[in-house]
Structure 1
């Protein structure tokens, strides 16, 4: 998953924890690259209880990592700026299948 702001792809860290951070924006889990973390106007969702941006979204719920408050994620009313993961899944699945075919020496009939 690329950075939601600049589109940079995440790379494997040399050692230790990843410098990339998670956040929630418009009810969707996003990744934030180290460069974009320095930007103070990321427009991330905040916790209604404590105001923290340390949120995670999973299984239709948004949880605050600061205070532990949990709420249901609402479906966005407007179209997202970038396609969400389910909309990109078909293309990604095709890319992965093609890569596996190349690596494993399988060829599909023309």
Structure 2
């Protein structure tokens, strides 16, 4: 999954914790790259109880990692994500095709 703001793709992680962060935007789980984390206006959902943006969304629930509050995600948010995916970087389909050809031994 690419960064929801800039479309950057994750690379294979080095040992240790990933510098990428998770967040929830319009009740949908998103990833945030290290560069975009420096921005102050990430437009992420916040916990209604404590105001934290440290939320995770899973199985139709949104959970706050700060206070532990859990609530159901809105059903209209689950039906169709209002978050439009960022455009694919140029050449992405060619990269994927080349990788599949290498793995499958195609010429």
TM-score category, normalised to shorter length? 0.7 to 0.9
1:12 positional shift: 2.0
Whole-Å separation in 2 of the counterparts to 1:58 and 1:7: 22
TM-score normalised to structure 1 length: 0.74
**2:28–2:81 CA contact under 8 A, matched in 1:** no
Structure number with greater CO (CA < 8 Å, separation at least 6) is 2
- Give the corresponding residue for 1:44: 44
User: Does the residue aligned with 1:103 lie in a helix, a strand or coil?
Assistant: helix
Gaps of 5+ in 2: 86-92
Q: Structure 2 length normalisation: TM-score?
A: 0.76
In the alignment of these two chains, the number of paired residues is 95
The match for 2:82 is 80
**Counterpart of 2:70?**
70
Per-residue displacement from partner, 1:85-108 (whole Å, max 9, x unpaired)? xxxxxxx9xx68x92x652247xx
Stretches of 4+ moved more than 3 A in 1? Answer: none
Instruction: Using the TM superposition, give the Cα deviation of residue 13 of structure 1 relative to its aligned residue in structure 2, in angstroms.
Output: 2.3
> Is the partner of 1:56 in helix, strand or coil?
strand
Cα deviations by residue, 1:5-44 (Å, 9 ceiling, x for unpaired): 0000011222200000000000000000000000010000
Structure 1 residue 22 corresponds to structure 2 residue 22: yes
